[in-house]
A and B are shown apart, each in its own frame.
Chain A
Amino acid sequence: MNVLSIREMERYDRQIKISELGVEGQIKLKNSRILVVGVGGLGGVAATYLAMAGVGFIRIVDNGILELNNLNRQIPYSEKDIGRLKVEAVAERLKSLNSEIVIEPISEKITSRNIDGLLRDVDLVVDGLDNFETRLIVNDKCIKFRIPFIHGAVYSFEGRLMTIIPGRSPCLRCLIPTAPPEHDTIPVIGPIPGVIGCLEALEALKIITDLGKPFTDKILIFDGLNLEFTSIPIVRSPKCPACSKLTD
């Protein structure tokens, strides 16, 4: 689709007025397809902003059921959603925010067996996961299929962000070659996934519209306790089993 309806022109008016974005950028968003893996604190925030910005197709994958202890940070949900499949509740919420886009909810655990299908026909992946094992499965396949992957993670008062452009920038496995031992439950205060989820959505919107500079070749550490953003350079590992053989 190369045009916007009158209603779309009105809905996206404030961002179309951004000189770099304009109608052309909005059409790119309309024609884009994004996969959000995990719709907890990070993915819920990122998916909400992507839907509001007019990303035409959003596939959301999560096999979780909403629990009361999710509600300190997972903003798309309400108390009435407790006990529901998260993807169903998020899909309903996103459709109520923007009925002009397509939301595809998939309630599945991401594994090395189903990941290829989940990545089919998407332009970009946003990380809303809560463990490294699954993140590395997604990372490796994003590298293989050359799909940009926006990594985010949170712990306590701290958040991290890293954008991965396969073949051009370091990947998650350059930084963390194998999954470290996982914690059973991860402590976190709500605004941290709020900040990082927003930044993930921003990175996704920039990449889709080809504006600005993606946050590659470094990792952002957001220290909420001291309110400091630290950017640390990361280089591609020549030994990385996922991306070392990939060239631009």
Chain B
Amino acid sequence: MVKIVVKAFATIREAIGEFGKISFEFPEQVTVKNLIEILSKRFGEKFNLEVLDDNGLPKKTIKIFINGRDIEFLDGLHTVLKDGDEVALIPPIAGG
């Protein structure tokens, strides 16, 4: 089993609810892209509006980190998640 914790911030937290923290258990390996697809199916329109661009991929303005490391410096959306990983979804915020 692969246990993953997703931590969502700001507007993505609001789309997910649960104070922004949610755990998953997968019977097999998943990538970041798989995880986003699963979240998209589970949380629907509100999540998609905040996270996905017109091509169904995460918006460029959203930062995705695995255990504090930007996926840009791993294998991007193809990064394979390991048991115990914490995935953070961080949209920009602008309030002052």
- B24 close to A (CB within 8 Å): no
- B68 close to A (CB within 8 Å): yes
Cβ-neighbour of A154 out of B9, B69, B95 (below 8 A):
B95
A235 proximity list for chain B (CB < 8 A): 70, 73
- B61 close to A (CB within 8 Å): yes
- B4 close to A (CB within 8 Å): no
Interface residues of B in 41-71 (CB under 8 A from A): 59-61, 63, 65, 68-70
CA separation between A156 and B70, bound complex, in Å? 24
- A132 close to B (CB within 8 Å): yes
Interface residues of B (CB under 8 A from A): 9-11, 13-14, 19-21, 59-61, 63, 65, 68-70, 73, 88, 90-96
Interface residues of A (CB under 8 A from B): 38, 40-43, 127-132, 135, 152-156, 158, 160, 175-177, 180, 182-183, 186-188, 193, 221, 223, 225-226, 230-235
**Is A130's CB under 8 angstroms from B94's CB?**
yes
CA separation between A135 and B88, bound complex, in Å? 24
**Is B63's CB under 8 angstroms from A153's CB?**
no
Given A175-B63, A180-B61, A226-B21, A156 and B92 contact (CB-CB distance below 8 Å): no
Nearest-neighbour CB distance to chain A for B76, whole angstroms, equals 15
Nearest-neighbour CB distance to chain B for A155, whole angstroms, equals 4
CA separation between A142 and B65, bound complex, in Å? 28
A180 proximity list for chain B (CB < 8 A): 59, 61, 91-92, 94
Interface of A is mostly: mixed
CA separation between A199 and B54, bound complex, in Å? 37
Nearest-neighbour CB distance to chain A for B38, whole angstroms, equals 23
A231 proximity list for chain B (CB < 8 A): 68
Given A221-B9, A226-B21, A232 and B65 contact (CB-CB distance below 8 Å): yes
**Is A232's CB under 8 angstroms from B95's CB?**
no
Given A156-B14, A158-B10, A180-B61, A38 and B20 contact (CB-CB distance below 8 Å): no
Interface of B is mostly: mixed
B20, B61, B63: most-surrounded residue (chain A CB, <10 A): B61
A131, A155, A182, A234: most-surrounded residue (chain B CB, <10 A): A155
**Is A128's CB under 8 angstroms from B96's CB?**
yes
Cβ-neighbour of B88 out of A41, A155, A187, A232 (below 8 A):
A232
**Is A176's CB under 8 angstroms from B14's CB?**
no
B91 proximity list for chain A (CB < 8 A): 180
Given A155-B11, A232-B65, A221 and B96 contact (CB-CB distance below 8 Å): no
**Is B19's CB under 8 angstroms from A132's CB?**
no
A232 proximity list for chain B (CB < 8 A): 63, 65, 68, 88, 90
**Is A186's CB under 8 angstroms from B95's CB?**
yes
**Is B88's CB under 8 angstroms from A154's CB?**
no
Given A155-B10, A158-B10, A188 and B19 contact (CB-CB distance below 8 Å): no
Nearest-neighbour CB distance to chain A for B48, whole angstroms, equals 15
**Is B94's CB under 8 angstroms from A155's CB?**
yes
Apart from A153-B93, A158-B10: 12 A-B pairs, beta carbons within 8 A: A129-B94, A129-B96, A130-B96, A132-B94, A153-B96, A154-B93, A160-B93, A180-B61, A226-B20, A226-B21, A233-B69, A233-B70
